[in-house]
A and B are shown apart, each in its own frame.
Chain A
Amino acid sequence: MKKTIHQINERIRDGNARVVTAEEMPAIVAELGEEGALAEVDVVTTGTFGAMCSSGGFFNFGHADPPIRMERVWLNDVEAYAGLAAVDAYIGATQQSTTREDQYGGAHVIEDFIAGKSVELRAISRGTDCYPRRTITTDLLLENLNQAIMCNPRNGYQRYNAASNSTERVLHTYMGMLLPSFGNVTYSGAGLLNPISNDPGFRFIGSGVPCFLGGAEGMVIGEGTQASPAAGFGTLMVTGDMKKMNTEYIRAATMHGYGVTMYVGLGIPIPVLDVETVRSTAVKDEDIWVDIIDYGVPARDRPTIGKVNYAMLKAGHLEINGEEVRTSSLSSLRRARRVAEELKGWIESGKMAVCLPTRRIDPGRRAAPMRETVQGPRVLEIMDRRVITISENEPIRDAARKLLKGETNHLPVINGEGVLVGIVTTYDVSKAVVNPAKISHVKDIMRRKVVTTTADEPVDIAVRKLEKHNISALPVVDREYRVVGMLTAMDLGKLFGGRWLK
């Protein structure tokens, strides 16, 4: 048996279409079988509500008198991109305020507009014959704008890898706060309610298809940026009229230590035309697997700690290395359900009909990493190769002598095999002089927990280590943990005026 999109739209028009949410679908298929579910269900609604950084909107402000060709535009001190035309601008959700930093950003401007609040527009221009005005400041409400069109380049990730942290310090990431030593796992996404997870072949989700966006009727533009559906990470570009949205489904947020983002409610109705659609919309949380990624490694290709599915994540706790670890979602399942329910109501009442894509999204697409033609500086290039070390059994006095003679403040401590076992600084030696207790040897005063770097580590990452630990030098170690150099705050000076700043 097969159904056509016209049959389904006719039933929607007559008010007797059977619409269910993606969460209800698995039980219906279990009860009626695939053919039975196909005969019974006309439309499956999906929904998700979570942080979607790659979001924003176009505004048209109308012309002032005398007119201005806005070259730079700020809305409540958040800069919008104005390289479009005289009075058009695009505001990005993650753009931060020049005055309030991460407490206010593009997402807040959008939320304030939707909430009916007044927003201050400030713009400057150099002035032309046709647009003589150079500055403008005015207060605007959403209703004062000609257009306020949300246009989100990358929304509705099919699924998202969970996050954890192997290091011994707290990390603040876009995946939230990650506690040390795998102290928690965070995740995002609505699992079986996610739009693309219900149509991974993009047979029904594509250009021109209607959607729920921020509480308004919106539309799928097509493939989202960085989409990688072949790897199970499809994304969508979507649009909708901000004037019809509400703040239940558009919320500005700040990820502590990361920055501003916007929580977006997105849902897509999927017409059930054949058994294949029944199967794809009967997806369960148990079927959707993601990796747990270690955000403790500051590289693009972070290591995977293990695999989990959304049922395990939603259970609230899982096991890592035999220890029970609690999970936190960053998206809201409760609100995702509301999106799917509200969308269901729209279709049942005939407010929204379904259609097939005018242009299909390629399910075989895979995102590639950036091609980098210029490599940033590595520790190797600026480190001090002159290494003065000391052994742990030498007297403190010798350490002081070496520090003086070497004109350095840091002495790596090595054992008989030349392996790094600690570090002694001028501060440690001075403290030993002031408090001359029973201690007499380097091993009594050295710090055994040493933060290190390697020769091929990018300097940016080494600098981050210095900042985070509030220290001024890192021993550079090789694979056997032998010291091959030192990177001190002074070596960073070599970056200035050198070839890296050209």
Chain B
Amino acid sequence: MKLLVTFSRKEGKKPIIAQVVRDTGVLVNVERALIDSSEGEALIDIPDESCRIVKDKLADLGASVRILEEEISLDETECVDCGACISICPQEVFSFDEEFRLRMDAKRCVLCGRCIEICPHGALSRRVDI
């Protein structure tokens, strides 16, 4: 399960994620992070059964947490199954099936946005459900 964590750094550089890992014992996978001097945003992946405990701990530490249900959405009327997205995706979200139809494993997506930018047919977009 993927959580989008946003936190303020105004009160100092608290190691929020490290703290969560230590206190909960849940192994957190940071898939994408953007942190500057005033705020941070991190996309983390955790086992589904640990969602509650991690979410609560993050909230205790002052971070706001959203569960990402859908990551990337493919418009099948625009897609022509060219495959331009396949090799540029760092997460190997896209592949061809045996009939060279484009297949998408959205669970692997970390929302880097690269495929949305380069899809020649504008068939990919970000759909974030909360």
Contacts and interface: CB of A to CB of B under 8 A. Distances in A.
Q: Do chains A and B stick together as partners?
A: yes
Interface of A: 49-51, 172, 176-177, 179, 183-186, 251, 253-256, 261, 263, 316, 325-335, 337
B125 interface: no
Contact of B118 (A49, A256, A261, A326): A256
A185 B99 contact: no
A4 to B, nearest CB: 37
B82 interface: yes
Interface of B: 80-88, 92, 95-96, 99-101, 114, 117-118, 120-122
A224 B50 CA distance: 62
Contact of B88 (A251, A255, A328): A328
The B interface is mostly helix, strand or loop, or mixed, namely loop
6 nearest CB pairs, A to B: A184-B87, A328-B87, A253-B120, A326-B87, A334-B81, A334-B100
A330 B92 CA distance: 17
A335 B83 CA distance: 12
Contacts of B99: 334
Given A179-B88, A185-B87, A326-B86, A254 B122 contact: yes
A316 B86 contact: yes
A177 B118 contact: yes
B84 A186 contact: yes
A193 to B, nearest CB: 11
Contacts of B117: 256
Contacts of A50: 82
Most buried by B among A184, A185, A326: A326
B96 A251 contact: no
27 contacts: A51-B120, A172-B118, A176-B88, A176-B118, A176-B120, A179-B88, A184-B87, A186-B87, A254-B122, A256-B117, A263-B80, A263-B120, A316-B86, A327-B87, A328-B86, A328-B88, A329-B82, A330-B82, A330-B83, A331-B82, A332-B82, A332-B100, A333-B100, A334-B99, A334-B100, A334-B101, A335-B80
Contacts of B84: 176-177, 186, 328-330
Nearest to A263: B80
Nearest to A50: B82
Given A263-B82, A327-B87, 15 more contacts: A176-B118, A176-B120, A177-B118, A179-B88, A253-B120, A253-B121, A255-B120, A263-B121, A316-B86, A316-B95, A326-B86, A328-B87, A329-B82, A329-B86, A332-B80
Given A177-B88, A316-B95, A335 B81 contact: yes
A328 B85 contact: yes
B97 to A, nearest CB: 10
Most buried by A among B99, B100, B101, B117: B100
Contact of A332 (B81, B87, B118, B122): B81
B96 to A, nearest CB: 7
Nearest to B97: A334
Contacts of B101: 334
A40 B101 CA distance: 31
A261 B88 contact: no
B83 A332 contact: yes
A316 to B, nearest CB: 7
B7 to A, nearest CB: 28
Contacts of A172: 118
Contact of A251 (B83, B114, B121): B121
Most buried by B among A183, A255, A329, A330: A329
Contacts of A261: 120
A251 B87 contact: no
Contacts of A251: 80, 121
Contacts of B118: 172, 176-177, 256
B88 A316 contact: no
A51 B101 CA distance: 18
A185 B101 CA distance: 19
Most buried by B among A49, A172, A256: A256
Contact of A330 (B96, B120, B122): B120
A329 B84 CA distance: 6
A148 B83 CA distance: 31
A329 B114 CA distance: 16
A336 B94 CA distance: 20
Contacts of A255: 120
B8 to A, nearest CB: 27
Contacts of B86: 316, 326-329
B31 to A, nearest CB: 18
A51 B121 CA distance: 11
A329 B100 CA distance: 11
Nearest to A258: B120
Nearest to B95: A316
A176 B83 CA distance: 11
A186 B82 CA distance: 11
Contacts of A332: 80-83, 100
Contacts of B83: 328-330, 332
A383 B102 CA distance: 50
B37 to A, nearest CB: 16
A332 B87 CA distance: 15
B89 to A, nearest CB: 9
